[in-house]
Structure 1
Amino acid sequence: MPADQFALSSDLINELLRGMRLRGVDYRRIQAGSTFGLGFAEKPGHAWFHFMAVGNAVLRMDDGSTYALSAGNAVFISHGVAHQLFSHQDVPVQDIDHLDGAALGDAVSAVDTGTDASPAPSTILFSACMEFELGSIHGLGRLMPGLMLIDAGGQRYPGLVPILTTMEREVSAARVGYAGILARLADVVAAMVVRGWVECACGNASGLVAALRDPRLAGALLALHQQPGRDWTVAQLAEHCNTSRSVFADRFQTTIGMAPLRYVTELRMRLASQWLTLERLPIEEVAQRLGYTSQAAFSRAFKRITGKTPGLSRKVRQAERR
């Protein structure tokens, strides 16, 4: 790829990922003996992250597929689907939410399922449940693999190796303040996994991922995400791609699956939802940021796209987070 096209795609990736939000709601340092079974319930709108520091485990997803994990492995489950971690296929599984944990700090707890009277636990893992908000790149969520496996010794995520190595030391040593450090490291690892997937997705890429690599569309997308409140026309967007209006509109529809101005509207409403619920901005300020001439006009557009009024959307989200 020519240097200018690579820079443009990098700028666009940075702009897209800037709106991503990962907020840990539950962190657990789990230690177990040679026999254990742990169940993790489905949590829509969340992601699960597990890091094996000591020992081995089998991961079983809700579709029945299984994966062997060993020390140094991590998994990121982007859609929050139900899954299990266990030592052997026939071991009874306990719901992790039903196990008592000793508080180690804000939202961090220690869970001990038994160490078989051994001087040290056979298995130690760090588990995190996170609110996963993709913001303006919500469309990527449908394309993202439900499960991403990370090997600290592998080459696919080289930047993660030193972080996972640090996590392994912190989990095993349990030094003063380690719980807070682990929580922050887990957030960083999860964000890097998502970034790595966005940067590396190729081959059968479709939709927004393919558009990131298409210089005929990337310029328009970058402009849209940088200025979502501008009163865009298709002709103006085509100018950013140095192509005709008709060629741009056809290319956009074919690649992303919707018309350019429909994308503009949905982008605005995704941003509005994030600003209203996570950043708790006043409705009037959100409307102004997105270029609406009145709060009423914004509210009508928001309800048409999301099915809820801005006020109701905020209340529902706040109730879900309690």
Structure 2
Amino acid sequence: MTVQPPDMISELLRGMRLSGVKYRRIETTAPFGVSFAYVAGKAQFHFVSQGTALLRMESGARFTLNTGDALFIPNGNAHALLSEENAAVIPVSAYPSESICNSVCAITCEPCPQSDKTVIFSGCMDFELGGMQPLIKAMPEVMMVSRLMSTWPEIHPLLAAMERESMTRQVGFAGILARLADVVAALIVRGWVEAGCGKATGWVQVLRDPRLSRAIYAMHQQPGVNWSVAELAKEAGTSRSVFAERFLSATGTTPAKYLSELRMRLAIQYIRHENQPIETVALRLGYGSLAAFSRAFKRIVGQAPGALRETIPLAEEI
């Protein structure tokens, strides 16, 4: 009997979270230039609800944006939005802003005529993929929603709703916009993965290799098991040496180290998002004692697990 490869896309999306989101509604007129700095561990999102803009990445890549365009920058690379190539650029943080609700603020660069203004809804957020966090680094610099429009038509009404909410500014529009932006960003990521992850290499091999997928999936389903290389090779249906070599080539790490880091990413999720007791998390993830779990957590994450309940987590989490 042929064993079907596990659904790694569902596993990936199950762990995806966009949290700590701060949005800005930017209203301006040409000429304008607004820059967004790189923030470690953050993703950025833009939606043009009126007008046009030029997206210029720090790498030199350029994209023309029109009304209704949305994009996701998964690794938060520095970039700027401009009316034209030679427009003067000012950091977005330098503009005065007015709070609309607890997650959205309004920025009006300068008074402008209704017909000539450009309106952009922008967000900066924590982007997490749970146990599959390494995949983020394999994602393209910019992910454009326009590349998904023909394949995933359900995006059209969401973008239309965002445009309407941003322009009419009815009661509660800011919160609705933020929710819609979360969904659009998630659809952009899903579309990229379902389309085969473009030309990405490295960790993406896990999604493309059914043998590796079975082993990785087993670890994700039972992270509390102390998996040996031999046991994982059996899951993959290959020899121990072939599996170890293929795993290292695809992920850049060993199965033991991957399992340890997977456990810590899941621990962060269970403690921070699900508010599970730390001792419960330790036992769930295969540690014989709270002390053993705490030592492993501090070694890999860089802080004690209790700090997740007391402070904002470090941006450089694994």
Scaled by the length of structure 2, the TM-score of the pair is 0.88
Question: What is the aligned partner in structure 2 of residue 192 from structure 1?
Answer: 187
Specify which of 232, 235, 244 is matched with residue 230 of structure 2: 235
Q: CA deviation at 1:263?
A: 1.5
Compared with structure 1, are the counterparts of its residues 181 and 299 closer, same or farther at alpha carbon in structure 2 (3 Å cutoff)? same
Q: CA deviation at 1:316?
A: 5.7
Compared with structure 1, are the counterparts of its residues 185 and 4 closer, same or farther at alpha carbon in structure 2 (3 Å cutoff)? farther
Q: Is the 1:24–1:183 contact (alpha carbons within 8 Å) kept by the matching residues of 2? A: no
Amino acid at match of 1:32: T
Distance in 2 of aligned mates of 1:55 and 1:140: 33
Q: CA deviation at 1:217?
A: 1.5
User: What is the correspondence of 1:48-67 to structure 2 with a 5 Å cutoff?
Assistant: 48-67=44-63
Query: What percentage of aligned pairs have identical amino acids?
Result: 49
Comparing 253-262 and 66-75, the one that deviates more: 253-262
Question: What is the aligned partner in structure 2 of residue 94 from structure 1?
Answer: 90
Q: CA deviation at 1:281?
A: 3.6
Specify which of 30, 39, 50 is matched with residue 34 of structure 1: 30
Compared with structure 1, are the counterparts of its residues 312 and 178 closer, same or farther at alpha carbon in structure 2 (3 Å cutoff)? closer
Question: Secondary structure of 1:21's partner?
Answer: strand
Distance in 1 of aligned mates of 2:198 and 2:78: 29
- The answer on 1:137 being equivalent to 2:156 is no
Question: What is the aligned partner in structure 2 of residue 107 from structure 1?
Answer: 103
Q: Is the 2:101–2:174 contact (alpha carbons within 8 Å) kept by the matching residues of 1? A: yes
User: What is the correspondence of 1:1-322 to structure 2 with a 5 Å cutoff?
Assistant: 5=4, 8-9=5-6, 11-116=7-112, 118-151=113-146, 154-155=149-150, 157-202=152-197, 204-312=199-307, 317-318=312-313
Distance in 1 of aligned mates of 2:147 and 2:248: 40
Scaled by the length of structure 1, the TM-score of the pair is 0.87
Comparing 219-228 and 298-307, the one that deviates more: 298-307
Count of aligned residue pairs for this structure pair: 314
RMSD over aligned Cα, in angstroms?
A: 2.5
Amino acid at match of 1:57: A
Distance in 2 of aligned mates of 1:161 and 1:222: 33
Distance in 1 of aligned mates of 2:245 and 2:163: 50
Structure 1 residue ranges without an equivalent (≥5): none
**Alpha-carbon displacement from aligned partner over 1:194-238 (angstroms, at most 9, x marks no partner):** 122222235644333211121211111111111111122223223
Distance in 2 of aligned mates of 1:145 and 1:249: 27
Q: CA deviation at 1:317?
A: 3.4
Q: Is the 2:247–2:253 contact (alpha carbons within 8 Å) kept by the matching residues of 1? A: yes
